[in-house]
Amino acid sequence: MELTAISAVGLAAMIARREVSCAEVMAAYLARIEVVNPAVNAIVSLRDSDALMDEARAADAAGARGPLHGLPIAVKNLVATKGLRTTYGSPVYADYVPVKDDLLAERMRAAGAIFIGKTNTPEWGHGSHSFNPVHGVTRNPYDLARTAGGSSGGAAAGLAARMLPVADGSDMMGSLRNPAAFCNVYGFRPTWGLVPSDAVGDTFMATLATEGPMARDIADLALLLDVQAGENPAVPFGRTGRFAVPEPADMRGKKIAWLGDWGGAYTMEPGILGQSEVALRVFEDLGAEIVPLAPPFPAEKLWQAWVTLRAMLNAGAKRGLYEHAAHRALTKPETIWEIEQGLNLTAAAVYEASVIRSRWYARAAGLFDQFDALVLPAAQVWPFPAEWRWPQDINGVAMDTYHRWMEVVVPASLIGLPALALPAGFGANGLPMGVQLMGRSGTDAEVIAMGQAYHAATDWPNKRPPAL
């Protein structure tokens, strides 16, 4: 088996046993990237190959540093990396080289990862299609004419194309889950607070986005999550947790609620609900009871709260771009729209949104007294043409914002639930799709164990890798 097809857990074990060297692993990945990346464009700001080989040989000489020792990692281009160009997909930062790592990068580097470059994202992570004027568009390894999703699109495509053994991502509005579904890999949005942010800007109100792991199997997902997780004492609301290679959950007797299209509120392209039900039948075959569930909360209220709180946070964090005329002219219209929405908000509107959020959290807690997990599709559309900015309509229903077509991810995002994107196989169009497996807040290990049971029964990423 080629080294690039071996799991991260497997490679780490082989390096530890000295069955393979860090230099051999690096050489294999660099060769794969050279062949595949020009077409996919998942990895950007790729470092010099000679420098990377020197670093890999130094890792061999130094001995194990941590669980990611010697593994080539490309960090999402929204995470600052010391000495490695970090652009956020923005022309304003086209030549920016940070002088220090963000916390997530610092943890992965301390665990022994060798940073080879960055993974592509949309500008500022806005939108679930990874294109920007600095690095171009990332394409789907399963169909190069299609999007890989976003904002962790480069991470998902890099994994699927065997250019990375494991990858970090982040998720505010489905940015780990949507690209995982589009690229036939796993993406895990952890309970909010498990993977902490850096102590910059607001850390009390900014509780919608989180970083997390992506992988081609659940053991690798747990490996990276264990590196990422753990409190940052400088930010509030932190959680702790350790994640070993999980045993598959015994699904017998478990109850899973199927929310479908939320009673028609979430318009879906043809075939997505049926493909999602393929994944549900896997859980049913494993012994779980699948229970169709009527919408437990008004979708329009969830959307109202979501766009209000998201706009408030974007306006606060990105206001400097807006007020600097030259930078504003270089900023994508979707980001400008977010900022302008936020600048026009009243305190009363923000409070009302927070009340809606609070009521949904309480309602969801009641659901988890009845069910072990909730399931929704991970996307409302199949991977769409790469030249689009975003889908303008679904089945003739016009999308009134640049992100309305991603609304199905909001129920988990709004209240910080752990949500695991599981590959659900391929539609009649040959394109991948996935579902979201959501658990009670704090039950990350249990959700991952259910994912392990599902992976053992399906193994979609390795059963049907892309034919590049």
458 Rama class: left (phi>0) / alpha (psi -120 to 50) / beta: alpha
Nearest-angstrom CA–CA distance, 147 and 150: 9
Active-site position among 45, 76, 90, 276? 76
The catalytic residue among 45, 90, 151, 197 is 151
CA–CA distance from 399 to each of 33, 126, 339, 381 (Å)? Answer: 36, 16, 19, 12
What are the tokens at 256? 């899973």
Q: Which two tokens stand for residue 358?
A: 């609070």
8 A C-beta contact, residue 321 and residue 335: yes
Q: Can 7 be counted among the known catalytic residues?
A: no
281-285 long-range contacts, CB within 8 A, separation 24+ = 282/454, 282/457, 282/458, 283/251, 283/254, 283/256, 283/450, 283/454, 285/457
Cα(17)–Cα(19) distance, rounded to whole angstroms?
A: 5
Ordered alpha helix ranges (H), 17-82: 22-40, 49-62
For residue 383, what is the DSSP state?
Answer: P
Residues recorded for the chain = 468
Annotated catalytic, 151? yes
345, two tokens: 């908000």
Max intra-chain CA distance, the chain: 62
Let me know: does 380 contact 323? Beta carbons within 8 Å.
no
CB 250 within 8 A of CB 283: no
The reply to whether 76 belongs to the active site is yes
Please give the structure tokens belonging to residue 348. 């009363």
Q: Which of 175, 197, 276, 413 is catalytic?
A: 175
Q: Is 449 helix (H, G, I), strand (E, B) or coil?
A: helix
Both tokens of residue 161? Answer: 């194309």
Catalytic residues: 76, 151, 175
